Amino acid sequence: MFDVHKIREDFPILSQKIHNKPLVYLDNAATTQKPKCVIDALVEYYSQYNSNIHRGVHTLSQKATEHYEATRDKIKNFINAKNREEIIFTRGTTEAINLVANSYGMHFLKENDEIIISHLEHHANIVPWQIVCQKTGAKLKIIPINNDGEIIFDEYLKLLNEKTKFVALSHISNALGTITPIKQFIEKAHSMNIPVLIDAAQSAQHLSLDVQDLGCDFLTVSGHKLYAPTGIGFLYGKKNLLEKMPPYQSGGDMILSVSFEKTIYNELPFKFEAGTHNIADTVAFGKAIEYIENIGIEKIYQYENDLLEYGTNLLSEIKGLRIIGTAKNKASIISFIFDDIHPHDIGTFLDSDGIAVRSGHHCTQPIMKFFGIPATTRASISFYNTKEELLQLSEGLKRVVKLFQS
């Protein structure tokens, strides 16, 4: 049985009040709340075995290294990677994409090569590729979307050609919730020997990911969207590609030896992990993965999908509300607008009711331009949310409408 009320007890922040109202947290696409086991892992690290890793023979260093590297193994199993050295710790999805853009893109792409992204991308999967194009002379090609907010596969096929040298796509849109059938995009690219990067920042917490089944060459994840702390995430990359790529940053731990004449780089994964890493948050990331696996990602998806359907039906009944992003296959995100009420006003009013939503362009300005709007209000759902909370959102929005119509 999926007992949401028992699950909510694991998240201390959910029991607080905002403006004397119970917190209704519906901003999970921006960042998720943290279970007590994750918070406890941070406290335990700093109070019991705080030490640098990989570099000491003393007990604290050995223990810190053991816990840090254990998270790498947990991630390997979580996404079914073939090798643990294919997991590179980063600050999150943004740094992971920049790592690939700089280390792969700058070294293996050249003038007139083409990089394909889609109209659904977060800025973090647009700007790095624009920079690669500016510096190498490569060209950026964009797959269009339809009015439901879905990538048009036939248009993707038209863009693929002998000049295409890289594809980078989001798995789930952070602005619309669209789930892209990513495997068929990968298979088509691979039939032409084109590597593919998947931005899984919005999918790792909702869907089961199997990189060997998907076949992707790179995959990026942010820990803070997966119930872990901020400032930690990872890049998955196929071993044969990572071995060919030069280091993204240089310094300690990414070297085997240094002299003034020559530096020999360390083996994977350490070649891409320069300096003292985010040890505490990496350890806590492992606890977050354990927590999710204990509940079951399939159960989480089913519960969240039920909430999405319930919430969509509720909000669709509100006069003047228009949902932006109506893909047939969606994750638990509901973005919406009122033609005569600014999203920031909606967010401010809902906050006075203790309801946290996100208002803005969600770092997806091209999507907003496509729909001819400046911004949306976005309610994003997690497995600790309830139907009662979505009803509170609906009632709050009705009060917003009433206020602005009076």
Q: Looking at 37, 133, 216, 363, which residue is catalytic? A: 363
Instruction: Show the tokens assigned to 146.
Output: 């339809």
Identify which of 131, 133, 143, 126 has the alpha carbon closest to the alpha carbon of residue 112. 133
Asked if 250 contacts 299 with a C-beta cutoff of 8 angstroms, the reply is no
Residue 227 DSSP one-character state: T
Q: Compute the distance between CA of residue 346 and CA of residue 237 in angstroms, rounded to an integer.
A: 41
| Local structure of 324: helix, strand or coil | strand
**How is 239-308 classified by DSSP, letter by letter?**
HHHHHHSPPSS-STTSEEEE-SS-EEEPPTTGGG--SS--HHHHHHHHHHHHHHHHH-HHHHHHHHHHHH
Instruction: Show the tokens assigned to 253.
Output: 């731990």
Residue 328 DSSP one-character state: S
Instruction: Show the tokens assigned to 222.
Output: 């942010």
Q: Does 363 qualify as catalytic in the annotation? A: yes
| Local structure of 53: helix, strand or coil | coil
Q: How far is CA 212 from CA 86, 183, 186, 209, 216, in A?
A: 12, 11, 12, 9, 7
Q: How far is CA 120 from CA 151, 169, 189, 207, in A?
A: 7, 8, 18, 18
Q: Compute the distance between CA of residue 387 and CA of residue 381 in angstroms, rounded to an integer.
A: 10
Token look-up 């780089």 returns 265
**How is 145-167 classified by DSSP, letter by letter?**
B-TTS-B-HHHHHHH-STTEEEE
Long-range contact set of residues 356-359: C-beta below 8 Å, sequence gap at least 24: 356/18, 356/23, 356/24, 356/25, 356/26, 356/27, 357/26, 357/27, 357/393, 358/27, 358/29, 358/30
Token look-up 């009076």 returns 406
N-term to C-term CA, the chain: 45
Token look-up 């039920």 returns 306
So which residues are the catalytic ones? Answer: 363
